[in-house]
């Protein structure tokens, strides 16, 4: 194991992890840990926060302050930690069901509020921990344990929603493109404000099997063959049926705590 990875994980008794063979979450965790390390952050300056689900088990393996909260509640919990310790780097790691269904409202309002945090969304198109039920990102027609005849609902695009809600940095990659993913997470960490990195990931045990997508390698090959970078998209139809990867949105807006500091100064001036 690479030394920087080794140093960043709770290797003594937390590993091996609980993830299935071929799961993409390990690749995403690997990219996150390398991104943290390359960002020059000390382990004691980081709090990794999660909700409930497969992706949310990641904090248990990472050697820094870690906060495994309630289902869907990683973002509001991280909000409390960040406001109590504005100098800490809060990284939320969440699955598609956790972040977008039960935690959807928190996600929207955190993007709007623009408190500095990095959200890593591991999107594997289903609820893995409970056995493969359909999630807000399961494409219409695809199978899941609660959609045995194909999913009735339409899926939605978390990146578009984050941008619309006010996120200042939005990016996407896949578990096939891990060095690329690591770079995006580094950019997200550096950004002062609400940053989202979506990771398209494979769940070969459930979603992949139910939809006859082959094993983990086949699914990764699918990501390789069907991804297109932002710069390759010349017109909207280029992106049809493709996974668009890269920085999708990067803008500037005042960060929440920076504004709150001004409020404190004002209140203290009035008080004198």
Partner 1 sequence: MQLLSGNEACALGAIRAGVRFFAGYPITPSTEIAEMMSEELPKLGGIFIQMEDEIASICAMVGASAAGMKAMTATSGPGFSLMQEGIGYAVMTEVPCVIVNVQRGGPATGLPTKVAQADVMAARWGTHGDHPAVALTPWNVMESFLLTVKAIEVSERLRLPVILLSDEIVGHMREVVSIPESVPIYERKKPLKSADEYLHYGDDTNFDAPVAHFGDGYRIHISGLTHRKDGFPTNDPKTIAWKMDRLRDKIDLNRDWLHIEEHFDLDAETVIVSYGSSARTALEAKYEFERKSGKKIGFLRLVTLWPFHYKKVADLLQNAKRVLVVEMNQGQMIREISRVVHRGIDVVGVNRYDGELITPEEVLTKL
Applying CB under 8 A, among 27, 30, 55, 77 the residue interacting with partner 1 is 77
Please count the helices (runs of H) and the strands (runs of E) in the chain.
10, 10
Give the residue with the Cβ less far from partner 1, 1 or 84: 84
Tokens of 213: 């997508």
Asked if 78 interacts with partner 1 (CB under 8 A), we say yes
- b/e per residue 250-263 (b: at least 16 CB within 10 A): eeeeebbbeeeeee
C-alpha–C-alpha distance, residues 23 and 29, integer Å: 11
Q: Work out the end-to-end distance of the chain between its first and last CA atoms, rounded to an integer number of angstroms.
A: 58
Asked if 141 interacts with partner 1 (CB under 8 A), we say no
Asked if 17 interacts with partner 1 (CB under 8 A), we say no
Applying CB under 8 A, among 26, 60, 150, 214 the residue interacting with partner 1 is 60
Q: Give the residue among 142, 140, 129, 128 at the shortest CA–CA distance from 210.
A: 142
Q: How far is the CB of 155 from partner 1 (least distance, A)?
A: 23
Asked if 66 interacts with partner 1 (CB under 8 A), we say yes
C-alpha–C-alpha distance, residues 112 and 97, integer Å: 20
SS (H, E, C) 198-262: EEECCCHHHHHHHCCCCCHHHHHHHHHHHEEEHHHCCCHHHHCCCEEEEEEEECCCCCHHHHHHH
Tokens of 175: 């578990």
Tell me the per-residue interface mask from 244 to 263 with partner 1, x by CB under 8 A, - otherwise.
----------------x--x
Give the residue with the Cβ less far from partner 1, 28 or 49: 49
Asked if 22 interacts with partner 1 (CB under 8 A), we say no
Give the residue with the Cβ less far from partner 1, 80 or 131: 80
Applying CB under 8 A, among 1, 149, 236, 268 the residue interacting with partner 1 is 268
Give the residue with the Cβ less far from partner 1, 253 or 266: 266
Asked if 4 interacts with partner 1 (CB under 8 A), we say no
Q: CA 20, 26, 27: angle at the middle one, nearest 5?
A: 130
Q: Which range touches partner 1 (CB under 8 A), out of 55-63, 132-140, 184-192, 230-238?
A: 55-63
Asked if 63 interacts with partner 1 (CB under 8 A), we say yes
Applying CB under 8 A, among 11, 15, 83, 253 the residue interacting with partner 1 is 83
Asked if 70 interacts with partner 1 (CB under 8 A), we say yes
Q: Which of residues 101-140 bind partner 1 (CB under 8 A)?
A: 105-106, 108-109
Give the residue with the Cβ less far from partner 1, 85 or 160: 85
| Residue 235: half-sphere exposure toward Cβ, Cα within 13 Å | 1
Q: How far is the CB of 140 from partner 1 (least distance, A)?
A: 28
Q: Which H or E run includes 197?
A: strand 194-200
C-alpha–C-alpha distance, residues 123 and 110, integer Å: 19
Chain positions contacting partner 1, by CB under 8 A: 14, 43-44, 47, 49, 59-60, 63-70, 73, 75-85, 88, 105-106, 108-109, 260, 263-264, 266-268, 270-271
């Amino acid at each position: 194991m690479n030394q920087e990875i080794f140093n960043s994980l709770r290797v003594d008794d937390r590993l091996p992890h609980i993830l299935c063979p071929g799961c993409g979450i390990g690749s995403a965790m690997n990219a996150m840990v390398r991104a943290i390390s390359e960002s020059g952050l000390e382990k004691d300056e980081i709090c990794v926060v999660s909700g409930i689900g497969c992706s949310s088990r990641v904090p248990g393996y990472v050697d820094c302050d870690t906060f495994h909260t309630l289902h869907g509640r990683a973002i509001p919990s991280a909000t409390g930690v960040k406001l109590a310790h504005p100098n800490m780097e809060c990284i939320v790691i969440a699955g598609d069901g956790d972040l977008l269904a039960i935690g959807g409202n928190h996600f929207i309002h955190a993007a709007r509020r623009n408190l500095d945090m990095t959200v890593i969304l591991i999107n594997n198109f289903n609820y893995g921990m409970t056995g493969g039920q359909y999630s807000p990102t399961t494409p219409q027609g695809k199978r899941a344990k609660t959609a045995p005849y194909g999913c009735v609902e339409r899926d939605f695009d978390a990146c578009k929603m984050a941008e619309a809600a006010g996120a200042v940095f939005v990016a996407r990659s896949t578990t096939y493109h891990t060095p690329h993913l690591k770079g995006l997470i580094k950019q997200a960490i550096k950004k002062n404000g609400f940053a989202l990195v979506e990771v398209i990931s494979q769940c070969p045990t459930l979603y992949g099997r139910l939809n006859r997508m082959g094993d983990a390698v086949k699914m990764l090959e699918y990501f390789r063959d069907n991804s297109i970078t932002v710069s390759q998209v010349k017109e909207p139809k280029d992106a049809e049926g493709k996974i668009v990867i890269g920085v999708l949105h990067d803008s500037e807006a005042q960060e929440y705590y920076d504004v709150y500091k001004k409020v404190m100064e004002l209140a203290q001036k009035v008080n004198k």
